[in-house]
Chains A and B, each alone.
Chain A
Amino acid sequence: MKALAAIIGIGITKFGEHWNKGIKELLAEAQLKALEDSGISEKDIQQIYVANMCADSLSGQLHLGSIASQILGINVPSYRVEAACASGGVAINAAINALRHKDIVLVSGVEKMTDVDTAKVTTALMGAGNEEWEEFHGATFPALYALMANAYMHEFGFAEEKFREILSKIAVKNHKHASKNPFAQFPREITLQQANNASIVAYPLRLFDCSPISDGAAALVLCKPELAKKFCDNPVYVVASAVATDTLALAERESLTSLKATRLAANDALNQAGISIKDINVFEVHDCFTIAELIAMEDLGIAERGKASKLIEEEQTYYDASIPINPSGGLKAFGHAVGATGIKQAVELTKQLRNEAYCQVENAEFALSHNVGGSGGTAAVHIYARRLL
């Protein structure tokens, strides 16, 4: 097994409503924490990738590369990476590629979403969809994922009530995980009944099926794997980094109930690592909506098509069960600060492999993160290892 990079420092802000912090403050908190965690000096950072989706549309701010380096008082090359909600995962992929030429690279992600009203955020997020075929006609992301949920129910023959229970169980599980995580936006449990009876956002999706609008930032210090032990005793290795793309509009896809980009990226990542999906001990998957977690389980190969609900019903995806999924609380309950989400997944999985997580999965050797842009136009899959076998 060959490592592509080592994670030697992690930093994250609480996700949620940071009324008194802007993009720069959030990014500074995450980046400085990551730097402190790594023990290296800011002068050692040779390149920066900063993931972000909406700073221009929500804050009127572009040129985040400059902000990210200014925070550290350095003048290195610094790039903003945008791939909608997959910005973080794609930025990690870009940073790993940069390690061919550089020794130490910082990758961060940030999103400031709560300074404007919900309508503006909804419109800005639709930038991840197809402007001509989706946004122009009034589609929103809850609507697109609701279409996927309806198609899933239809294709696999689920009765409405039964399907409702399955989606609610995903939300209940992710809230349970988040309840132990002080960095989560919603660190509290919900009941099945609350999830079942919540307001409808876009049928069949109800309030607790949807990830929230969040502010937050996360950062990683990556280095060449062979240098890792020089900086820390407990590096976490990235053993696979895969990104795949697919059509932008949902209507152009081969299927409404499976994301090709996820399938391609997952296959690529597992091949790179030379392991099977069964070897993965803990997952952070892109549950922007509960239906997305269900579909991700199938596209990643955790369950067969149309069969993931069985694992949910049997409660096998809790952190202390057989296939831990989203022990951080997921996007649903940890929060979804869009540009930071992919990086946050890596931060949380690094904590898992360092035995520092709040919902600690015991004896995890391999972890997998799955980060999706839009309704599946991009997917980034990374695999992390506690040690190199």
Chain B
Amino acid sequence: MQNAGIVGYGCYIPRYRIKVEEIAKHYGKNAEEIKRGLMLEEKSVPAKDEDSATIAVEAAKNALKRAEHVAELHKKISAVYVGSESHPYAVKPTATIVAEALGLSNNYTAADTEFACKAGTASLQMAMGLCLSNIAEYALAIGVDTSQAAKGDALEYSAAAGGGAFIIGTKRNEFVAEILHTLSFSTDTPDFWRRSTQLTPKHAGRFTGEPAYFKHVATAAKMIMEKYGYKPEDFNYVIFHQPNGKFPLRVAKKLGFKEEQIKPGFIVPKLGNTYSGNIPLSLNAVLDIAAENELILAVSYGSGAGSDAFIIKTTPLLKEVQSKTTKALQYLNENKIYLSYAEYLQHMEMIH
């Protein structure tokens, strides 16, 4: 059976950070309680001149650097999907900005996707579909966000900026990782939303937990394991969408995964929730350190609501591309600049 695979991957995280303490101080909240409750320490913030398009370009450039083993790839990418809930334009695609900046040929289809925090993995599935049906030879799928949160909302401690990109193909000898299986579980569940006239999302408090995140993530994970005959212990790595630190650890424990499977992709405490960039970034972190023939289970979550699950197997080629460009943890841990709350508001264009 032919599978789609990742021929190149990359990511980008802006260098600016704000600590939980800095936000909590502004609202007279107890930072330690928030840090303990959400298992978050700090989050990334875009620079004043960064948006989802620029972050997508940086991530895609890194993906191209890791796909140099495919000759003339620029000319062969014939589909570009960018998933985000912070597309710079409501009407006008981010995907064409990205494709133009990358210097792709003009023979590509493009679209922006939105499915709250899982627009990135939805793009990945669309890219796989086009490649597997021979409509596209290679497809670029990106998940990126400069996540929005209302001032004073609990989301303000987590909403972060960053993104990941994957170049998908179907030639096995070019894969750095093969996508063995994917499936999705979706319902109409209004746990988090933003109307087109609103600048920041709203959410339904505790309703975002059990009936939303946990139901969808756990169901999709169980479905894919049952359907294709896997058990939790079969995986070297497991990644669940990380809206905060608490949720993914809880669902992982419930499903029987161990700490060592979770840890490599668990980057939320120092990154925050990059919404559509969430799974793309944590998958980058895992691919950066994985050895050949290792199995990864990745399950995204998008409010509204749905989960996309993927079973991915690394190939011997992965080792050769890992160090070709900046790794996720380098972006996460190096060169950081910390902002005050006032500076943060400026970066988020909430004050000028």
Contacts and interface: CB of A to CB of B under 8 A. Distances in A.
Interface of A: 17, 19-20, 114, 117-118, 199
Interface string B207-225: 1001100000000000000
Given A199-B30, A199-B33, A19 B205 contact: no
B211 A19 contact: yes
7 contacts: A17-B210, A19-B207, A19-B210, A19-B211, A114-B206, A114-B207, A118-B205
Interface string B7-30: 000000000000000000000001
B27 to A, nearest CB: 14
B351 interface: no
Given A17-B210, A19-B211, A117-B204, 10 more contacts: A17-B206, A19-B207, A19-B210, A20-B211, A114-B206, A114-B207, A117-B205, A118-B205, A199-B30, A199-B33
A161 to B, nearest CB: 20
Contacts of B210: 17, 19
Nearest to B30: A199
A19 B204 CA distance: 11
Interface in B17-53: 30, 33
Nearest to A117: B205
B337 to A, nearest CB: 32
Contacts of B206: 17, 114
Nearest to B202: A117
Contacts of B205: 117-118
Nearest to B212: A19
Interface in B30-78: 30, 33
A117 B205 CA distance: 6
Contacts of A17: 206, 210
Nearest to A213: B206
A254 B20 CA distance: 46
Nearest to B207: A19
B268 to A, nearest CB: 22
Contacts of B30: 199
Interface residues of B, number: 8
Contacts of A19: 207, 210-211
Pairs A-B, 7 closest by C-beta atoms: A19-B211, A117-B205, A199-B33, A19-B207, A17-B206, A118-B205, A17-B210
Contacts of B33: 199
A73 B281 CA distance: 56
Contacts of B204: 117
A68 to B, nearest CB: 26
B181 to A, nearest CB: 30
B172 to A, nearest CB: 44
Contacts of A118: 205
B218 to A, nearest CB: 15
A182 to B, nearest CB: 17
A21 B207 CA distance: 13
Nearest to A198: B33
Contacts of A20: 211
A220 to B, nearest CB: 30
Nearest to B37: A199
A114 B33 CA distance: 24
B171 to A, nearest CB: 46
Contacts of A117: 204-205
Contacts of B211: 19-20
A17 B205 CA distance: 12
Contacts of A199: 30, 33
A102 to B, nearest CB: 41
Nearest to A119: B205
A199 B33 CA distance: 8
B153 to A, nearest CB: 11
A19 to B, nearest CB: 4
Interface string B117-150: 0000000000000000000000000000000000
A114 B209 CA distance: 13
A118 B154 CA distance: 13
Q: Considering residues A19, A114, A117, A199, which has the most beta carbons from chain B within 10 angstroms of its beta carbon?
A: A19
Nearest to B191: A19
A114 B211 CA distance: 12
Nearest to B33: A199
A79 B207 CA distance: 32
A60 to B, nearest CB: 17
A187 to B, nearest CB: 15
A389 B207 CA distance: 50
A17 B214 CA distance: 14
A17 B33 CA distance: 24
Interface string B167-181: 000000000000000
Nearest to B205: A117
A223 to B, nearest CB: 39
A234 to B, nearest CB: 37
Contacts of B207: 19, 114
B22 to A, nearest CB: 20
A114 B207 CA distance: 8
A114 B208 CA distance: 12
A120 to B, nearest CB: 10
B37 to A, nearest CB: 9
Contacts of A114: 206-207
B178 to A, nearest CB: 38
A71 to B, nearest CB: 24
Nearest to B204: A117
A306 to B, nearest CB: 33
Interface in B188-242: 204-207, 210-211
A118 B205 CA distance: 8
B167 to A, nearest CB: 40
Nearest to B203: A117
B246 to A, nearest CB: 16
A284 to B, nearest CB: 27
